Amino acid sequence: MSDAALRDPRIPAPVIDRPEDYLHVEQTLSSWFFTTDHKRIGILYLVSITGFFVIGAIAAGIVRLALVVPDGSILSNEVYNRMFTLHGVIMVWFFLVPSIPNTLGNFLLPLMIGAKDLAFPKINLLSWYVFVTASLFTLFVLLWGGVDTGWTFYTPLSTQYANGYVIAAVLGIIVVGYSSILTGLNFIVTVHKMRAPGMTWFRMPLFVWSLYATSLILVLATPVLTIALVLVFVDRAFGLGVFNPEQGGDPVLFQHLFWFYSHPVVYVMVLPGMGVMSELVTAYAYKKIFGYKFIAFSSLAIAVIGFFVWGHHMFYNGITQYSALTFSLMSFIVAVPSAIKVYNWAATIHKGQIRLDTPMLYAMGWIGLFVIGGVTGLMLASTALDGHVHDTYFVVAHFHYIMVGATVVAFLGGIHYWWPKMTGRLYSEPWGRVSALLMFIGFNMTFFPQYILGYMGMPRRYAVYPESYQVLNVLSSAGATILAAAYLFPMIYLVWSLWYGEKAGDNPWHAKGLEWTTTSPPPKHNFRKMPIVDFDPYDYSNEPPEE
C-alpha cells in the first residue's frame, strides 16, 4: 500500500523543494550550541574567531595610530606595551592557530574524504567550548588587568618584573592549548580511519594532507608550550626559580621550550593556507595540479623539519655559536619544501585556463606575499645578517608577511571559494575582486615600509622612535587603514549574501573534489549515500570550464 492511498485526497502531496541541509535541519539555538555536526561546529568557530580577529585588529589599529608620532604622546609606554601584547596574544592563539583548521578544516575535512563526520564529534564540540571559555577568560584578563610581556612571555620579565595579570593570562593560554590538541587529535584519527572506500592516501585533496601535517604539529608541539607556561605559572606564583638567573636558573631554557612550540606553530598557521592554495590554484587554472606527491610530502617535510629550527629565534639571546649554526642550517633546509610548493603552484598556473575570480586573486597575491616573507625569512636565518636586524621591524615585517600575507589571505581566499558550499549562496563577485585587490595594496603599504624601517635599525616593541623614521611609520599606518577596509568589505558583503545572495548550485565553480559532489549546503551526514571514490584528485580535463 503506498503512502498516497492513505493521504486525504484534498491535501496536496508535499513537494520536497530541496533536501534538508545542515543549516535547516534544526533551527533552535540549542541545536547550534549542542550540535555535534562538524559543519555547524565549523560555523561556530568561524563566528568566534572572526570576533577575536576584530578585537585583535582594533588593538593593531591602536598600535599603528600611536606610532604615527615619534614621541609616544598618544599612548603611554605602559598602555602601548599592553596593546601590542593584546594584539599578539589574540591574533596568535585566538585567531591564527584556529583560523583555517578549525573553520574550513572542520567543515571540509569529512566532506573531502567522504566521511559522515569527524571521528569524535563530541570531542570536536568540546574543543569549541574549551576554546571559547579559555579565550573569553584570557580576553577579559588582557582587557581589565593587562599584560605587558608581549605574546612570548619571555622570562625573567614575565616571571619577575612584569606588572599585570601574567598568571591568569598564562592559565588561559594553557587551557586554550587543549582545544588545539583535541582538534589535532580528531583530525589525525579522521584522516587515518574515516576515509570513504577508494579514498586512498594519494587520492586525498592536498588540503587534507596539509591539515594532517598541521594536526601532527598541534599534537606534538602544544604540550611543550603547556608545560613551559606551567613552569612560568609556578615560577611567578611560588618562585620556582628554574628560569630565574638570580637563583641559578636559566631564562634561555624557557625560550627553548617556548620556541619548540612556537616555531612549529608558525607552520600550523601557514600549512593550512598552503593547502587552501593548492585547491584554489587548480580550480581557477582549471588544470591538474603539478607534482601532487611533491606537494603532499612537502607538507609532511615542513611539519617535521619545522621542529628542528626553533633556535633561529634565539641567535642573539645567549645560545652558543655551535647551537646557532645547527639551527641556522636547519632553517635553510626547511625553506626547501616551501619552495617546492611555490614552484608547483607556478607550474600549475602555467598554461592553465585561468579565471581571475576573487579566490584566484587572493591566491595570486598569496604567492607574491609568501615569496617575499619566505625569502626575508632566509635572510633572518643567516646568523650574521640576523645580528643586524634581530628584534627590529624587519622581523615584524617578515612574520606579518607570513602570518597575514599567507595565512589571512589564504583564509579569505578559502572562505570565498567554499562560501557557496557552506551557505548555499553566492557573494558579490565585483566586491570580492575589489576587496582582494585592496588587501594586496593595503598589506604591502602597511608592512613593506617596516622592512625598510627595520633595516635602518628601528627596534620593535618601543612606543617612541627617532623622528627620522616618522615618514615610513605614517605610511605604514596609512596602509593599515586600507587594510582595515579590505577586511571590512568581505564581512559586510558575505553576511549580506546570506539573505540576498544568489542561490548557488552544487558546484558553482565547476571544481573537482568530493565536497562539490554533494548539495550546497550539504545535508547533515554530508552525502546522500556513501561515496565510492574511483577518480584521481584534481581530475580536470583540458576542456575549458563551461560557464
Can you give the binding site for another protein, defined by CB under 8 A? Answer: 115-121, 123, 181, 184-186, 188-189, 192-194, 219-224, 226-228, 230-231, 234, 238-242, 247-250, 252-253, 256-257, 260, 307-308, 310-311, 319-323, 326-327, 525, 530
How far out from the chain centre does Cα 100 lie? 5
For another protein, the closer of residues 271 and 463 by Cβ is 271
Smallest gap, in angstroms, from Cβ of residue 219 to another protein? 6
CA dihedral 90, 436, 494, 122 (to 10 degrees): -50
Smallest gap, in angstroms, from Cβ of residue 95 to another protein? 23
For another protein, the closer of residues 18 and 192 by Cβ is 192
DSSP character for 104?
I
Smallest gap, in angstroms, from Cβ of residue 223 to another protein? 4
Cell of 533: 571514490
Residues 6+ apart with CB under 8 A from 171: 137, 233
Smallest gap, in angstroms, from Cβ of residue 138 to another protein? 20
CA–CA separation, 245 and 236 (whole Å): 14
SS3 at position 69: coil
Smallest gap, in angstroms, from Cβ of residue 159 to another protein? 13
Residues 6+ apart with CB under 8 A from 502: 425, 426
CA–CA separation, 403 and 399 (whole Å): 6
For another protein, the closer of residues 323 and 383 by Cβ is 323
SS3 at position 425: strand
Q: Both ends of the chain: CA-CA distance in Å? A: 46
Smallest gap, in angstroms, from Cβ of residue 262 to another protein? 13
CA atoms within 13 A on the CB side of 359: 26
CB 97 within 8 A of CB 265: yes
Secondary structure (DSSP) of 116-182: SS-S-HHHHHHHHHHHHHHHHHHHHIIIII-B-STTTT-TTIIIII--B-HHHHHHHHHHHHHHHHH
Smallest gap, in angstroms, from Cβ of residue 250 to another protein? 6
CA atoms within 13 A on the CB side of 484: 17
For another protein, the closer of residues 119 and 369 by Cβ is 119
For another protein, the closer of residues 9 and 248 by Cβ is 248
For another protein, the closer of residues 323 and 481 by Cβ is 323
C-beta contacts of 89-93 below 8 A and 24+ residues apart: 89/138, 89/142, 89/147, 89/151, 89/169, 89/173, 90/52, 90/55, 90/56, 90/59, 90/139, 90/142, 91/53, 91/56, 91/60, 91/403, 92/151, 92/265, 93/135, 93/138, 93/151, 93/173, 93/176
For another protein, the closer of residues 120 and 137 by Cβ is 120
CB 136 within 8 A of CB 215: no
Smallest gap, in angstroms, from Cβ of residue 121 to another protein? 6
For another protein, the closer of residues 214 and 477 by Cβ is 214
Smallest gap, in angstroms, from Cβ of residue 251 to another protein? 12
Smallest gap, in angstroms, from Cβ of residue 86 to another protein? 27
CA–CA separation, 190 and 511 (whole Å): 24
Smallest gap, in angstroms, from Cβ of residue 416 to another protein? 29
Q: Residue 99: phi, psi to the nearest 5?
A: -50, -75
For another protein, the closer of residues 257 and 372 by Cβ is 257
For another protein, the closer of residues 57 and 181 by Cβ is 181
Smallest gap, in angstroms, from Cβ of residue 263 to another protein? 11
CA–CA separation, 151 and 167 (whole Å): 13
Cell of 455: 633595516
CB 422 within 8 A of CB 43: yes
Residues 6+ apart with CB under 8 A from 346: 367
Smallest gap, in angstroms, from Cβ of residue 252 to another protein? 7
For another protein, the closer of residues 356 and 530 by Cβ is 530
For another protein, the closer of residues 56 and 251 by Cβ is 251
For another protein, the closer of residues 192 and 528 by Cβ is 192
Residues 6+ apart with CB under 8 A from 56: 86, 87, 90, 91, 94, 95
Smallest gap, in angstroms, from Cβ of residue 83 to another protein? 30
CA–CA separation, 18 and 518 (whole Å): 12
For another protein, the closer of residues 22 and 53 by Cβ is 22
